[in-house]
Chains A and B, each alone.
Chain A
Amino acid sequence: MVERIASEVEMISEQTLRQVAANSRLVLSDEEVKAFLVQLQEILGFFESIKNVRADVPASFIPVSLSREPADDVARECLSQQEALSNTQSKNGYIKGPKSI
């Protein structure tokens, strides 16, 4: 099944995969690229089945019908700092993140 999709439909190239990984700050080994390429092609292949679905309905960006009205600009209670920092690594009230510059 996987081999069939990968060979028939070139939905994602190795170059695209490497570019997306770089944008996502992911370092992938050559073996991982090879493995993920097959897996991603398999995943994207499932979307091919959408071609068989009726297409004469309006496009829907939102999967469920929402009717949330815009909210009034009135403040509500926030999380405490302790709550906000729970499950994170922190320093002086800040959440620690990776070096960015």
Chain B
Amino acid sequence: MVDALIGMEVHVQLNTNTKLFCRCPTLSGIPNTKTCPTCLGHPGSKPVLNKRAFHYAIKFALALNCSIAQSLVFSRKTYFYPDMSKNYQITQYELPLAVNGKVVLDSGKEIRIKRLHIEEDPAGLVHEEISLVDYNRSGIPLVEVVSEPDISSAEEARDFMKKLMSILNYLDIFDASSGVIKADVNVSVKKNNFERVEIKNVTGFKEIERAIEYEIHRQNNEQVVRETRSWNADLGKTFSLRKKETEEDYGYITEPDIIVRQIPKLVIDKLSQEIPELPAQKAERWVKNFKIDSVDARIIASDPQVASLYEEVAFQCDKILSARWVRRELLRVLNTAGVKLSDTALKAYHLIPLFKLLERKEITDRTGQQLIRELAQSPFDVGLRVKNDGLSAVGDVSEIGKLVDLVLDENVQALQDYRKGEQKAFEFLVGQIMKKAKGRAKPDVVRTLLLEKA
């Protein structure tokens, strides 16, 4: 038995132009300027489903290996709070759009998806002495993905979220620049008989991980009652929010204003065909056909832009070398700079000549690293740069030999240490020679000459 059971309820904003039940745009901006009688909940207004949101939700469900319901049924969830002017949220309850899916983590562990449903977002609130309500957000389409409590640590929760995000990026149904991913996280620990505590509205991967870590620690050290808590990112703590309502309190009824419609198999089949090759399948194919490292494959495949760049490059260059350089150098450079590939002007045709030079050992790895750093900032013609700046690898034995002699003269102590059997001293001397050669000396020639002369 595990020590913690964690279930996630992840709310994803779908990247549509208009709201779920009216045609107001899904834009923020000046408060209460993107509203109509429907999203303001005026009496007599009627909801009309957004076809694109409906289709996006089906695609997401299919990508999560869910079974799709035969009919689309909406329900009213009644609650009294200023963010919902109708005093009910249109959601799905008795019959969700999809059930019984799964997400496979990097470790191979399967996290079961209990259900996936469509619902409308409530309004945005600014909390002062009173609540200030902005109904621009009211009615924005959301998909809620509910996992079974199969997650047992904060790391697994992060991996689960990463997998969801990666699939959303491939399906292109979520705009990370404007959309928000929020999660309600249910945490319970063995020490307290798995009494369930829900942490509401945690935003962002890092905060989800922190909130879970905090909550597991708290529950292992305090008496736990069943309750809803909120996460305060500034203080790094959860706080008791209110006594949790039961599902019964929401008084769900079937939404009478929206027709119960069949979901034809034809529609599901058509949407299924529109789903691109997903990251897990892509990585598996690369490992099988390209023989690349499985971790390299998984990491490159997780981002559709990077995956597409890799496929283009690998078509012309050595596939294993390309994978190694894309994952270990290009992604490292992008991560360090805090940017995504799509934020840069870097294209496959910039990398292909670089990887070809590396393949033929015409430039050293060090030069390659330097060029990738510069390419990510502002692309250029790699061949021309190597020629103009004299960056070609130096393999000339007499030229490198002179540098080896010079370094040995300057580093007598390191030489003695090496002769006493210290391998670290040898690597130090290699580093010094490379430094003098400004990274251009061919490493194998340097090593051979150093072995001869030391």
Check if A and B associate. Answer: yes
Are the CB atoms of A100 and B32 closer together than 8 Å?
Answer: no
Closest B residue to A64 by CB, please name it: B256
Q: Which residues of B contact A95 (CB under 8 A)?
A: 32, 132-135
For residue A80, give the distance in angstroms from its CB to the closest CB of chain B.
7
Given the interface pairs A78-B25, A96-B131, A97-B132, the reply to whether A68 lies near B259 with Cβ below 8 Å is yes
For residue B223, give the distance in angstroms from its CB to the closest CB of chain A.
25
The docked-state distance in angstroms from the alpha carbon of A63 to that of B258 is: 11
List CB contacts (< 8 Å) of A84-101 with chain B. 84-85, 90-101
Are the CB atoms of A78 and B82 closer together than 8 Å?
Answer: no
- If over half of B's interface residues share one DSSP class (helix, strand or loop), that class is named, otherwise mixed; here it is loop
Q: Which residues of A contact B380 (CB under 8 A)?
A: none
Are the CB atoms of B23 and A76 closer together than 8 Å?
Answer: yes
Q: B91 interface residue, CB < 8 Å from A?
A: no
Are the CB atoms of B24 and A75 closer together than 8 Å?
Answer: yes
Are the CB atoms of B33 and A81 closer together than 8 Å?
Answer: yes
The docked-state distance in angstroms from the alpha carbon of A96 to that of B85 is: 12
Given the interface pairs A61-B260, A93-B32, the reply to whether A70 lies near B132 with Cβ below 8 Å is no
A73's contact among B17, B46, B130, by CB below 8 Å, is which? B17
For residue B49, give the distance in angstroms from its CB to the closest CB of chain A.
4
Q: Which residues of A contact B25 (CB under 8 A)?
A: 75, 78
For residue B77, give the distance in angstroms from its CB to the closest CB of chain A.
12
Q: A66 interface residue, CB < 8 Å from B?
A: yes
Given the interface pairs A23-B245, A70-B51, A93-B32, the reply to whether A99 lies near B130 with Cβ below 8 Å is yes
Given the interface pairs A70-B49, A70-B50, A85-B32, the reply to whether A99 lies near B129 with Cβ below 8 Å is yes
Closest A residue to B124 by CB, please name it: A94
Q: Which residues of A contact B50 (CB under 8 A)?
A: 70-71, 73
For residue B269, give the distance in angstroms from its CB to the closest CB of chain A.
18
For residue B20, give the distance in angstroms from its CB to the closest CB of chain A.
10
Which of A61, A62, A92, A101: most chain B Cβ within 10 A? A61
Q: Which residues of A contact B51 (CB under 8 A)?
A: 69-73
Are the CB atoms of B132 and A79 closer together than 8 Å?
Answer: no
Q: B367 interface residue, CB < 8 Å from A?
A: no
Instruction: Count B interface residues, CB 8 Å.
Output: 48
Are the CB atoms of B135 and A84 closer together than 8 Å?
Answer: yes
Q: A29 interface residue, CB < 8 Å from B?
A: no
Are the CB atoms of A100 and B81 closer together than 8 Å?
Answer: yes
Are the CB atoms of A97 and B80 closer together than 8 Å?
Answer: no
Given the interface pairs A23-B245, A62-B259, A78-B33, the reply to whether A73 lies near B16 with Cβ below 8 Å is yes
The docked-state distance in angstroms from the alpha carbon of A51 to that of B256 is: 22
Q: Which residues of B contact A100 (CB under 8 A)?
A: 81-83, 125, 127, 131
Q: B53 interface residue, CB < 8 Å from A?
A: yes
Q: Which residues of A contact B132 (CB under 8 A)?
A: 91-92, 94-97
Are the CB atoms of A94 and B134 closer together than 8 Å?
Answer: yes
Are the CB atoms of B82 and A67 closer together than 8 Å?
Answer: no
Would you give the 0/1 interface string for B11-35, flagging 1 where the beta carbon is closer than 8 Å to chain A?
0000011100001110000111111
Count contacts between A and B, CB distance < 8 Å. Answer: 124
For residue A75, give the distance in angstroms from its CB to the closest CB of chain B.
4
For residue B260, give the distance in angstroms from its CB to the closest CB of chain A.
6
- If over half of A's interface residues share one DSSP class (helix, strand or loop), that class is named, otherwise mixed; here it is loop
Given the interface pairs A25-B80, A71-B51, A72-B51, the reply to whether A97 lies near B131 with Cβ below 8 Å is yes
The docked-state distance in angstroms from the alpha carbon of A73 to that of B33 is: 19
The docked-state distance in angstroms from the alpha carbon of A19 to that of B48 is: 33
Given the interface pairs A70-B50, A74-B18, the reply to whether A61 lies near B256 with Cβ below 8 Å is yes
The docked-state distance in angstroms from the alpha carbon of A64 to that of B132 is: 37
For residue B67, give the distance in angstroms from its CB to the closest CB of chain A.
21
Are the CB atoms of B35 and A78 closer together than 8 Å?
Answer: yes
The docked-state distance in angstroms from the alpha carbon of A63 to that of B259 is: 10
For residue B30, give the distance in angstroms from its CB to the closest CB of chain A.
6
Q: Which residues of A contact B126 (CB under 8 A)?
A: 94
The docked-state distance in angstroms from the alpha carbon of A94 to that of B169 is: 33
The docked-state distance in angstroms from the alpha carbon of A2 to that of B419 is: 107
Q: Which residues of A contact B272 (CB under 8 A)?
A: none
Are the CB atoms of B259 and A75 closer together than 8 Å?
Answer: no
Q: Which residues of B contact A62 (CB under 8 A)?
A: 256, 259-260
Q: Which residues of B contact A98 (CB under 8 A)?
A: 82, 130-131
Q: A24 interface residue, CB < 8 Å from B?
A: yes
Would you give the 0/1 interface string for B46-63, flagging 1 where the beta carbon is closer than 8 Å to chain A?
101111111000000000
The docked-state distance in angstroms from the alpha carbon of A29 to that of B36 is: 37
Q: Which residues of A contact B254 (CB under 8 A)?
A: 61
The docked-state distance in angstroms from the alpha carbon of A73 to that of B385 is: 48
Are the CB atoms of A97 and B130 closer together than 8 Å?
Answer: yes
A-B contact pairs, 5 of them (CB 8 A): A23-B245, A23-B251, A79-B35, A84-B33, A93-B134
14 extra interchain contacts, Cβ-Cβ under 8 A, other than A71-B48, A73-B50, A93-B33?
Answer: A23-B78, A23-B245, A23-B251, A68-B258, A69-B51, A70-B51, A72-B51, A74-B17, A75-B23, A78-B35, A78-B36, A94-B31, A96-B132, A100-B125
